[in-house]
Structure 1
Amino acid sequence: MNTGDGGSLRTAIDKDSGVAILTLDRPEKLNAIDLAMADELATTWREFRFDDSVRAIVITGTGERAFCTGLDRTADVPQPNSPYMMDDPLIAIGPKANDLWKPVIAAVSGMACGGAFYLIGEAEFVVADESATFFDPHTTYGMVSAYESIYLAQRMPPGEVTRMALMGTAERISARRAYEVGLVSELTAPGEAVEAAVRSAAVIASYPVEAVQGTVRACWAAKEAARAHAFAQAPHLISLGNLPSERQAGLFTARRSAFRTR
């Protein structure tokens, strides 16, 4: 197995099985994505396009507390002074955004929230252990949940997506509930999500490459038009609906710690 450590990501490639494990490695920040990690993710996905030894990928996070908690709030992202233009620092962190059509499986333990759905939304399916919880904090902090909700709307019933987006930090979806509504395709015992995801990835990687990648592309074609149309609405909805950053920071500082898990 070849391994590589690049900043806030770790990559391990098993040349025999053709499975790569890509690990978000900022456990002290609950695997939140800063601008450096966003660049690393885009670079890594594009490198996988040219590595024929990689035929399937599992993405996960270091530690038991979180798969990923979205954008690191310390990231400084200047924005154009217009409601019709917006620079989203996470828009290119997923495999499909980087034109990678090799199958990707997300293995989730602990929290997955906010910007984590850019990664989950571009995975073929999700394996989660019983510790996993899913929520979207945007509205709590005066932010529009646009891209996150669009990604989730392609995996969950509309009412479940809307409830998650509107309830913010007050409510989290349990791994069991996520499995029931289709966000998660396999539920495991605590600590076993990566093993289960690798097991599925190894099976997929053993099949003819052209058939697998063509199938991935076909499945995405079925929902691509709706996603592209929805994405076109997202920038100005965020620009018009988000509170100024200083007011967001105030709400974040005053956030309540209590939440309900369902």
Structure 2
Amino acid sequence: MGSVEFEKRGRVAVVTLDEPTKLNAISMGIREGVIESLARIQADDEIRVGILTGRGDKAFCAGADISTFPATPEQARSFIADVLPVLEAPERCRKPLIAAVNGMAFGGGFELAIACDFILASERARFGVPEIQLGLLPGFALLRLHDIVGRPKAKELSMLGEPIDAAEAVRLGIALRTVEHDKLLDEAMAFADKLAGKPHMAVQMAKSFYNRGLGGDDMRYAVDAFPFLFQTDDVKEGVAAFRAKRKPEFK
């Protein structure tokens, strides 16, 4: 199923992003696997809850795969049009989803996590939207983050691009709670089992109610607006510096 492992444990499905050598970055295989897995969760009446996590101890998902980054505004528009449906897919799934964040959740990985209904964070987890370091801004997070942490903090996170730890993520309301790293999946399963034991129609209606109004015009705006940043020299410098592992010199 793409670069994603799908495991059914009774009434719970565990979806594991499975490219640890690339820090589970959002490759084509990861994208396809996430979409297919969530469709499978939605279609299977026996599955009540889904868990998303990452393979390995370093990363839940490190964000975009820079090696396949678009080079022109036209390519950027196609890229964001392909990626945004993946990042918002957890919101559109009728069933509750838990992100078990086992390591870094940066950029698109952070966005995939906040699109889930709950985040349980390993004590080793780190969260951030570092796109500003490439001369860019987050796409999906720009539409959602201020509703979670408030506008000033969302601006700070987006404009500075500095990561926060798991405890700060809980304080800001991004993550539900932190757990010991080695017990993360067990804790996520225990939480999922509790949810699975509740009246499933009421749970699904609660998700639908709280998520009402998401999507729509703001998504189309993100697809249309994001590519314009790729016309700037700062993006070329930011991407080149990232690949060369040096500090960018923005003009």
TM over 0.5: same fold? yes
* Superposed counterparts of 1:206-221, under 5 Å: 206-221=197-212
Shift of the 33–146 alpha-carbon distance from structure 1 to 2, 3 Å rule, reads closer
In the alignment, the residues of structure 2 paired with residue 79 and residue 36 of structure 1 have an alpha-carbon distance, to the nearest angstrom, of 23
Shift of the 79–141 alpha-carbon distance from structure 1 to 2, 3 Å rule, reads closer
Which one-letter code corresponds to 2:181 in the other structure? P
Shift of the 82–172 alpha-carbon distance from structure 1 to 2, 3 Å rule, reads closer
Which one-letter code corresponds to 2:211 in the other structure? W
Shift of the 136–94 alpha-carbon distance from structure 1 to 2, 3 Å rule, reads closer
Match of 1:231 among 203, 219, 234: 219
Match of 2:229 among 241, 245, 260: 241
Tell me the SS of whatever aligns to 1:106: strand
1:13 aligns with 2:13: no
In the alignment, the residues of structure 2 paired with residue 204 and residue 179 of structure 1 have an alpha-carbon distance, to the nearest angstrom, of 20
* Superposed counterparts of 1:60-79, under 5 Å: 60-75=53-68
CA RMSD in angstroms, aligned pairs only: 2.4
Cα distance, 1:228 vs structure 2: 3.4
Which one-letter code corresponds to 2:97 in the other structure? V
State the TM-score, normalizing by the size of structure 1: 0.84
Instruction: Assess if the C-alpha contact under 8 Å between 1:8 and 1:25 holds in 2.
Output: yes
1:49 aligns with 2:42: yes
The structure with the largest helix share of the pair is 2
Superposed CA offset, 1:71-118 (max 9, x none) = 2112265866499x5541321224646842100010112111000133
Tell me the SS of whatever aligns to 1:107: strand
Counterpart position of 1:193: 184
Paired positions, count: 244
1:109 aligns with 2:99: no
In the alignment, the residues of structure 1 paired with residue 204 and residue 86 of structure 2 have an alpha-carbon distance, to the nearest angstrom, of 20
State the TM-score, normalizing by the size of structure 2: 0.87
Shift of the 256–166 alpha-carbon distance from structure 1 to 2, 3 Å rule, reads farther
Shift of the 82–11 alpha-carbon distance from structure 1 to 2, 3 Å rule, reads closer
Gaps of 5+ in 1: 1-5, 258-262
1:155 aligns with 2:148: yes
Shift of the 183–98 alpha-carbon distance from structure 1 to 2, 3 Å rule, reads closer
Tell me the SS of whatever aligns to 2:83: coil
Counterpart position of 1:120: 113
Shift of the 137–154 alpha-carbon distance from structure 1 to 2, 3 Å rule, reads same
Instruction: Assess if the C-alpha contact under 8 Å between 2:90 and 2:116 holds in 1.
Output: no
Q: Percent identity?
A: 26
Shift of the 247–239 alpha-carbon distance from structure 1 to 2, 3 Å rule, reads same
Counterpart position of 1:164: 157
Superposed CA offset, 1:228-261 (max 9, x none) = 343333233312223477544312134458xxxx
In the alignment, the residues of structure 2 paired with residue 143 and residue 95 of structure 1 have an alpha-carbon distance, to the nearest angstrom, of 20
Gaps of 5+ in 2: none
Cα distance, 1:154 vs structure 2: 2.8
